[in-house]
Amino acid sequence: MTEPFVARSVAPALPIRMLALDIDGTLVGDDLVLPDRTRATIVRAVHRGIHVSLVTGRMPTSALPFARMLELRDPIVGYQGALVRAMPGPGSNGQGRLLSHRPLRADVARDAVAWARTAGLDPHLNHLEYLVFPDDDPRHEDYSAFLGARAVRVPSLDDWIRHPVTKVVAVAPPPRPVVSLEAARRAFAGRADVTVAHPRFLEFVAPGISKGRAVRWLARRHGVELGAVLAIGDQLNDLEMIAAVGHGVAMPSAPAAVIEVARYLAPPIEVDGAAQVIEELALGGPRHAAAAAEGYAEAAAHARAGEVPLAPPQLEAAAREAAALPDAAAAVSGDRATDR
């Protein structure tokens, strides 16, 4: 039986030995540009020997360019955890070895497509590294231009589904996906897990699939206790991942349900909030990290109470206190030496 995800139930441990990072809304904004500071910070973490994985609702090949920019070595988790691939070796043009694939049953996928239509959403399919969509979709040229051969137009989604598929995506303008979420969960209870990965995307995956389950799997694979894992995300599909680890971080743009389970609240993406958290909690010395953690935790508590300042003064105070600690720089090398 799968262990439930309980908010802030995993005690945080230092030093942090693994990072699980969402992409959209966490590392990159709507422009899809990876900021220099964010890139440099994560590369430093990799070179320190910290395990780093991108854990996303995207297909793994869509996450791969970001993983290459970040010089990652660990697996990429795609489709909320339904598909996991090893990071291809340097110089490889491959997709990465398939490590795990848990698709949605064909009959459930067909039912999800029908349900989405009745709910006023446009269904698409993701299977392995392909996006499958009906040929009457008005956005077909955009999909084909962006994905190339990985965009597959078909006369009928229902006729195409003759085998399990990785994910069903139902698309609509906000707030319809969020408004439809609970009804979809009731309709597919025990048959599919349903989440919102973006304000426009309602997504159906196999039962038990979540980013939280994937992060537990990664931690076991690396021999890292969950308390020493830092996970950062901004959407409802990140909720289980944030709740599953000792250092669960919500972006300030996250829905209230996500902030509710987070131990920490990051600064906004506009000021490289994820990078700031990684710098202070994962790359600083233990006293530096502990002082900063208190500030981020206090910011989360204020957010849960409905008090969300744009630049939480407690974060600034914690950063000043941590920066003044004399042993911070020396502790970094000592901690990482004993951690290997």
Q: Where are the domains of the chain?
A: 18-99+210-339, 106-205
Nearest residue to 315 (alpha-carbon basis) of 247, 267, 260: 267
CATH code matching the domain that covers 106-205, chosen among 3.40.1260.10, 3.30.1240.10, 3.40.50.720, 3.40.50.300? 3.30.1240.10
User: What is the distance between the alpha carbons of residues 65 and 71, in angstroms, rounded to a whole number?
Assistant: 10
Question: Who contacts 97 (Cβ-Cβ below 8 Å, separation ≥6)?
Answer: 85, 86
- Asked if 210 and 193 touch (Cβ cutoff 8 Å), the reply is yes
User: What is the distance between the alpha carbons of residues 32 and 336, in angstroms, rounded to a whole number?
Assistant: 32
Number of C-alpha atoms within 13 angstroms, CB side, residue 32?
5
What is Dmax (Cα atoms) for the chain? 66
For residue 3, pLDDT beyond 90: no
- Asked if 137 and 98 touch (Cβ cutoff 8 Å), the reply is no
| 299 confidence band (pLDDT: 50, 70, 90) | very high
- DSSP 8-class letter at 244: H
Q: What are phi and psi of 181, to 5 degrees?
A: -60, -55
For residue 11, pLDDT beyond 50: yes
Question: Which class in CATH covers the domain with range 18-99+210-339?
Answer: alpha beta
Q: How many helices (H) and strands (E) does the chain have?
A: 13, 14
Nearest residue to 5 (alpha-carbon basis) of 222, 213, 259, 263: 213
C-alpha to C-alpha distances, 182 to 79, 124, 206, nearest whole angstrom: 20, 20, 17
Summarised one tens digit per residue, pLDDT across range 63-78 is 999 999 999 999 999 9
Q: Please indicate whether residue 332 or residue 184 has the higher confidence score (pLDDT).
A: 184
For residue 124, give the H/E element and its range. strand 122-127
Question: Who contacts 151 (Cβ-Cβ below 8 Å, separation ≥6)?
Answer: 130, 131, 133, 140, 143, 144
Summarised one tens digit per residue, pLDDT across range 116-135 is 999 999 999 999 999 999 98
Summarised one tens digit per residue, pLDDT across range 83-96 is 999 999 888 889 99
For residue 95, the tally of other CB atoms under 10 A from its CB is 16
pTM, two decimals, is 0.89
